[in-house]
Amino acid sequence: MSDLNNLFQFLEESRDGMVDLQRKLNCIPALSPENGGSGELKKAEALLVWLKEQGFTEIEVIKAPDTRVESGVRPNIVVTIPGQEKEKRIWIMSHLDIVPPGELNLWESDPYSIVEKDGRIYGRGVEDNQQGLTASVFTALAFLKKGIKPKNTLKLLFVADEETASKYGIVYLLKKQGFFQKGDWFLVPDGGRKDGTMLEVAEKSVLWVNFHTIGKQCHASTPEQGINAFVAASDLVTRLFGLKNIYPQKDPLFDPPVSTFTPTRKESNVPNINTIPGDDVFSMDMRILPSLSVDEVLGKIDELCREVEKGYGVTINREIVQRVESEPTKADAPLVKAMREVVKSVYGVEAQPVGIGGGTVGAYLRNEGYDTVVWAKIDETAHMPNEYCILENCIGDAKVIAALSLKY
């Protein structure tokens, strides 16, 4: 039996182990402080115990200081499987943190207790990003247990803080001199399509902005004595939503092919009905095509804010929560070609390089000159109620990682 068939056989026999690992991790809510949690440390500790039990020995933990969490640190884990050659290293990067479950009444089960049904496992984080984490871990375990070496060194990287700007995850690691090396390849199993045909090689610029509108509070029966911040903010929301008409440019590499300007979070203002709010806060999520200047868009946003200030007598402050601009990985890069080959060999489909609007940790890597592909075969249930992972996808994705690591 060939080495690749040996690896595949191990992975096909690991179904129960994959469910067990997902169950161990799912019950530990790894939420960032921004999302009301205490970080990833407890989940990381559970993963470290499991890794050591399985026989992994080359493990490194890099702790990013964060005074907002009780432990004071946000953990990043590296697992190394030495390769036959030393020319390059292949990194498989997934993330430890998750998002909150949202409205619990929309869930059909406890989001922090795995339910296995009809070939799927349900729970918060099982697809985003524990499918990728589990697939990469069991690929490495297959090499370890079968005594097979990958062609080049295989590095598994489990980062913190992916869901909230990556300051304590990949951004922190990229600042460590010599941690990554020129020529390293990065596969991020954290995005894709149901048929596995999407190789994400480019991302729109991500711009998250909070808008704080300040007016004058008063009794609702005498609105003329105040300045209604909610009304002014509502006008601003409408104007900002209209940015899609101001910037209608299209790029067929991306899906959707246009920039998006989406109002999202609305904070509570006054607690009672009969008070005119003097303060109002809302947020916008903007995904801007790389061909557009983010500075130009911000200039237009400021222009719209000034117009609303003048029209209503309010003051508007904006706060940039996240701004990420990314260089693309070339569609004909060696990593892209390799991924197209191994995806076809495992799934029998022709994967194509595309650009997306969703931000991933890949953007930070590309900006530092590293070829990076974001890929997985997923049903795209991330951040939804009743999030699920298809077990056959977890096994199949592990096979893709194994084929990539063995040949390249």
48-104 pLDDT per residue, tens:
999 999 999 999 999 999 999 999 999 999 999 999 998 889 999 999 999 999 999
For the residues 1-11, what does the mean pLDDT come to? 94
Looking at 298, 324, 350, which one is the last position of a domain? 324
303 within some domain: yes
| 246 and 109 within one domain | no
Q: Closest Cα partner for 102 from 198, 185, 17, 31?
A: 31
Look at residue 182 and tell me whether its pLDDT is greater than 90: yes
Same domain? For 63 and 98 the reply is: yes
The parent domain of residue 251 ranges over: 205-324
Overall average pLDDT of the 2-18 stretch: 97
Task: Supply the mean pLDDT for the chain.
Answer: 96
For residue 163, tell me if it sits in a domain: yes
Token digits of residue 301: 């946003």
CATH of the domain at 88: 3.40.630.10
Whether the pLDDT of residue 184 is over 90: the answer is yes
In this prediction, residue 43 has a pLDDT band, given cuts at 50, 70 and 90, of very high
Whether residue 369 is found in the same domain as residue 399: yes
**CA angle 237–243–246, rounded 5-degree value:** 150
pLDDT band at 235 (very low <50, low <70, confident <90, very high): very high
The tally of CA atoms less than 13 A away on the side-chain side of residue 124 is 21
Is 176 found in the same domain as 30?
Answer: yes
Task: List, in sequence order, every beta strand (DSSP E) within 190-347.
Answer: 198-203, 205-214, 218-219, 254-255, 260-266, 275-276, 279-288, 315-324
How far, in Å, CA of 151 to CA of 406, rounded?
Answer: 5
Q: Are strands 279-288 and 352-356 parallel, antiparallel or unpaired?
A: unpaired
> Residue 1: is its pLDDT beyond 70?
no
Let me know if 274 is exposed, middle or buried by CB neighbors in 10 A (0-12, 13-18, 19+): exposed
Among residues 40, 66, 97, 387, the one annotated as catalytic is 97
Domain's final residue, options 303, 324, 345: 324
Q: Does residue 351 form part of some domain? A: no
Q: How many CB atoms lie within 10 A of CB 185?
A: 22
- 363 pLDDT tier (thresholds 50, 70, 90): confident
Residue 278 reports pLDDT greater than 80: yes
Could you say which of 40, 162, 200, 387 is catalytic? 162
Domain closes at, from 324, 349, 377: 324
User: What is the pLDDT, as a whole number, of residue 221?
Assistant: 98
Domain count along the chain: 2
Our answer to whether residue 97 is catalytic in this structure is yes
Query: Residue 360: its pLDDT value, please?
Result: 80
Q: Which residues contact 383 (CB under 8 A, 6 or more apart)?
A: 99, 102, 128
CA 220 to each of CA 179, 224, 226, 277: distance values in angstroms, whole numbers, following the listed order: 59, 9, 9, 9
Residue 234 is assigned to a structural domain of this protein = yes
Position 262 scores a pLDDT of: 97
pLDDT score of 358: 75
pLDDT at 74: 98
Note whether 103 and 149 are same-domain residues: yes
268 and 134 in a single domain? The answer is no
Q: What is the mean pLDDT of residues 290-311?
A: 97
pLDDT at residue number 165:
84
- Give tens-digit pLDDT for 110-126: 999 999 999 999 999 99
Separation CA 205–CA 218 (nearest Å):
40
Where does the pLDDT of residue 361 fall: very low under 50, low under 70, confident under 90, or very high at 90 and above?
confident
Q: Are residues 243 and 285 in the same domain?
A: yes
Report pTM. 0.82
Which pLDDT belongs to residue 48? Answer: 98
Summarize pLDDT for 120-166 with one digit per residue, the tens.
999 999 999 999 999 999 999 999 999 999 999 999 999 999 999 89
pLDDT confidence tier of residue 21, bands split at 50, 70 and 90: very high
